[in-house]
Chain A
Amino acid sequence: MTIHNLYIFDRNGICLHYSEWNRRKQAGISKDEEYKLMYGMLYSIRSFVSKMSPTDMKDGFLSFQTSKYKLHYYETPSGVKVVMNTDLSVGSIRDILHQIYSTIYVEYVVKNALCSLNDPIQSELFRAKLDSYIRSLPFFSARAG
């Protein structure tokens, strides 16, 4: 069990926050390029999923997995997107992604009047809280193979 990394995007596709824990392979492009690539893919998946669905959806796109990792996606009605990559053994973590939004992003960014909502998050407090929350999760393991 392991958590690889986490992205938070705003409604305009700006990467508000990125952190990584167990990521052994880098993309080989600049971080800014990577954020754009990631957001572009998420944007396309979202519209793909909503067009291809044979019935009306409630939650839309939730996650995808490859042979090596699983990408979990959570979007609020206000367009904040929390994206977490884990290994394959992690089940649905919607609750946890919602918690990251409601108890960390809202509490330490939205309620901090000095934090701009449209720029990458600078707050150290936010980073620290997020990091300790992630490390406390039962499926976080630093020495995962």
Chain B
Amino acid sequence: MSRQTNRGTESKKMSSELFTLTYGALVTQLCKDYENDEDVNKQLEKMGYNIGVRLIEDFLARSNVGRCHDFRETADVIAKVAFKMYLGITPTITNWSPAGDEFSLILENNPLVDFVELPDNHSTLVYSNLLCGVLRGSLEMVQMAVDVKFAQDTLKGDSVTEIRMKFIRRIEDNLPAGEE
């Protein structure tokens, strides 16, 4: 049996502008629908979570990555394989906590914000918060509870964009119903 190899990362390349602009339209609409930025942030995170829950399956099917044995390996796969596959960028991994349960992803250029300038009245909006949800949702499906948030954002005048990831706990296997 020869494995089909035509489903690699290269097969479905398309312009990221369509994605960026669609995302922009989504954020714009949410800002109209909700009164305050906190609610928009929450909705973006929630949508991202729902995407992540499904995206992880696509990722595992395409990359053939096995189970990660520690958080460092997880960080590597996220930065070097997953970000590359879906956003075409490779963030750098830095700022490990001494316990090895926290690290930062530094994004040189965030593809979601290519054409964006934050107006002054949206200072608390976390524009790319969808990404946090995606990361949290997909890691939850491989049994890792992780806290994800933006620590720095070029949209807010920081020099880089930084996503901070904190490992909370391993999610244990569920026993099937009715078994002990």
List residues of A whose CB falls within 8 A of some B CB.
11-13, 36, 39-40, 43, 58, 76-80, 93, 95-96, 98-99, 101-103, 105-106, 110-111, 117
Contact = CB atoms under 8 A, between A and B. Distances in A.
Contacts of B119: none
Given A13-B174, A43-B176, A111-B54, A101 B65 contact: no
B120 interface: no
B49 to A, nearest CB: 13
Contacts of A78: 56-57, 60, 141-142
Q: What 9 A-B pairs have minimum CB-CB distances, sorted nearest first?
A: A102-B61, A13-B176, A110-B57, A106-B61, A77-B67, A78-B141, A77-B142, A12-B174, A39-B176
Nearest to B177: A13
B54 A95 contact: no
A10 to B, nearest CB: 10
B58 interface: yes
A17 B1 CA distance: 24
Interface in B1-43: 1, 3-4, 7
B174 A101 contact: no
Interface in B64-122: 64-68
A106 to B, nearest CB: 4
Interface centre among A78, A80, A93, A95 (most CB of B within 10 A): A78
Interface of B: 1, 3-4, 7, 53-54, 56-58, 60-62, 64-68, 141-143, 173-179
Contacts of B53: 117
Contacts of A77: 60, 65-68, 142
Main secondary structure of the interface of B (DSSP, over half): loop
Contacts of A58: 66
Contacts of A36: 176-179
A78 B140 CA distance: 9
Contacts of B64: 98
Contacts of B54: 110-111, 117
B47 to A, nearest CB: 12
A90 to B, nearest CB: 11
Contacts of B173: 11, 43, 79
Contacts of A105: 57
A84 B4 CA distance: 20
B58 A110 contact: yes
Contacts of B4: 99, 103
Nearest to B175: A43
Nearest to A75: B67
A76 B67 CA distance: 8
Contacts of A96: 1
B61 to A, nearest CB: 3
A60 to B, nearest CB: 9
